[in-house]
Amino acid sequence: MEEKQIQPTLYETLFKKEWSYYTGAVLIVIFALALSMFGSTWGVSGALGTWGSMFLGLFGIDTAAAFGNDTSKYNFFANQASLTDIGLLLGALIACLLAAQWKIRNIKHYKQALAAIIGGLLMGIGAKMAGGCNIGGLFSQLPQFSLAAWLFLLFVFLGATVGGKLLKFFMPPVSNKRPNRKRLSAEQKARNKKIQITAAVVIILVLLVVAFAVAPTYPAAPLMMVIGVGLGYSMQRSRFCFTAAYRDPMLTGETKLTRAVIVAFALSTILFFGKHAAAFGTDLSKLTADNMPGNVINLQMIIGSFIFGIGAVLAGGCASGTFVRMGEGYVQLWICFPFFCLGNAVAGGITKATAGTWFTAGSKVYLPQVFGGLVPALLIQLAALLALWVLASWWESKKRASF
C-alpha cells in the first residue's frame, strides 16, 4: 500500500514553508519598483555611514570635518534608507516568529567574530568607495542601464572569490563532539509557537501605531516602512541572498540562487524600462551628468566593489543580508553591523581626500547612449543576462559531473 502523504496545514503553507528563490526574486523586484515609484531607488548602505558618524559623534569626533559626513540634518523618519533598513530587519524577524523558527544563532568560535569584524569594516569601506552596496551599486543600477553596475558585478564577484579563499582561515575547527541540543516536548513546542506568533503580532501592531503616529508629519514614512518589511519578509522566506549568489558557484558549484538573482536583474530591467522610457523618451540628448542614472566609473568605484565583495563573504552577508540575518538572530551579523557602520563612516575620509583627483576621475556611461536607444539597450542587456544564466547553469552541471 502506498503511504498517504500528509498535506501541509494552511499555517505551514502560509508561514512555515520556504519559498522558492524565484518567488523571492519576483517579490523583491516588485517591492523595489514600488519603492522607486513612491520614493527613490532602493539603497541600503547610505544610512549606515550616517549611523556610524552619529556614534563617533558621541565621542566628540567632528565627522563632518574629519570624514565629510554631516549628520546635523539627519531625520530617521524622513530618511528612506533608514526606514527600509529597519524594515528589512523587522520583516525577517516577523517571518521567523510567524514560522516559530526564531532563535539566537550563536557563533561557535572566536574566528567567526573576527571574520564578522573584518568583513564588516571591509563592506563599509567598500560600499562607500563604490557608491553603494549590492543594492545601491548593483541591483538598483543595472536596471537603469548603467555600465557602472556591470563593472560592480564583475569586481564584486572577483572580490567574493578572494573572500571565499580567505574564508577557509576563519572557519572554526571541526569538532567530533555532537552539539548538546535540548529536545523540546510537544507541549514546549506548542508553547514556543504561541509565544513567537504572539510576539510577531505585537511587533506588527507596534509598527502600525508608529506608522499612524508619524504619518501626519512624514506622509511617506509608513509606506517606506511597509515596503522595507515586505523586502525583509520576502528575503527571509525565500533565503534570497546576493552574497551567496557570488560565493556559492566557487565554493560549492551551486548556482540555483545565482540564476534566481540573474532572473531578478532581468525582470527588474523589463519593469524599469517603462519608467526610463517615460523619463527620457527617445531624445537622449536631454541627458546630462546630473540627471543621468548610475555611478561615475573610476578607479575608486572599482576598488571599492572588489573590497566589498571580500567583506561580504567574510561577514556572511551583504548590506541587505546583514539586516535579514540580524532579524533571524545570527550573532555573527550583530557583531558585523557596528563595524559596517564605522567602516562606512570612516571611509568618508577616503572619498573626501581623493575628490577631484585621478583616483576619482571618470564619467557615467548610460548604455542606451552607447547602443543607440533604449530598445537596443534593453535587448542587449537581456541577452547578456541570458548568457550569464546559461553560463551559471553550465557551471553547476560541470561541477556536479566532477564529483
pLDDT in tens, 149-205: 999 999 999 999 999 999 888 887 766 666 566 777 888 888 999 999 999 999 999
Return d(Cα 5, Cα 62) in angstroms, integer: 64
For residue 34, is it within any domain? yes
Q: What is the pLDDT of residue 177?
A: 64
Q: What is the pLDDT of residue 1?
A: 43
Instruction: Could you list the beta-strand ranges (E) of 83-159.
Output: none
Let me know: does 266 contact 123? Beta carbons within 8 Å: no
Question: Looking at the 3D structure of the chain, how many domains does it have?
Answer: 1
Distance of CA 330 to the CA centre of its chain: 16
Return d(Cα 94, Cα 272) in angstroms, integer: 29
Return d(Cα 43, Cα 136) in angstroms, integer: 4
List residues bridging with 331 in a β-sheet: none
Sort residue 294 into left (φ over 0), alpha (ψ -120 to 50) or beta. left
For residue 335, is it within any domain? yes
Q: What is the pLDDT of residue 88?
A: 97
Half-sphere exposure of 124 (CA within 13 A, CB side): 27
For residue 240, is it within any domain? yes
| DSSP 8-state class, residue 288 | -
List residues bridging with 297 in a β-sheet: 363
| DSSP 8-state class, residue 178 | P
Question: Rounded to the nearest 5°, which phi and psi values hold at 396?
Answer: -65, -40
| Most distant CA pair in the chain, distance | 77
For residue 317, is it within any domain? yes
Residue 325 grid coordinates: 540575518
**Hey, what's the torsion of the CAs at 268, 362, 247, 26, to 10 degrees?**
-10
For residue 7, is it within any domain? no
Spell out, as residue ranges, where the chain has pLDDT lower than 50.
1
Instruction: Kindly write down the DSSP assignment for every residue of 299-360, as one continuous string.
Output: HHHHHHHHHHHHHHHHHTS-HHHHHHHHHHTBHHHHHHHHHHHHHHHHTHHHHHHHTTSTTT
Let me know: does 310 contact 123? Beta carbons within 8 Å: no
Sort residue 68 into left (φ over 0), alpha (ψ -120 to 50) or beta. left
Let me know: does 261 contact 318? Beta carbons within 8 Å: no
Count of other CB atoms within 10 angstroms of residue 8: 11
For residue 183, is it within any domain? no
Question: Rounded to the nearest 5°, which phi and psi values hold at 19?
Answer: -85, 165
For residue 369, is it within any domain? yes
Q: What is the pLDDT of residue 115?
A: 95
For residue 296, is it within any domain? yes
Let me know: does 395 contact 255? Beta carbons within 8 Å: yes
Q: Quote the domain boundaries for residue 37.
A: 17-64+76-170+189-402
Residue 188 grid coordinates: 514546549
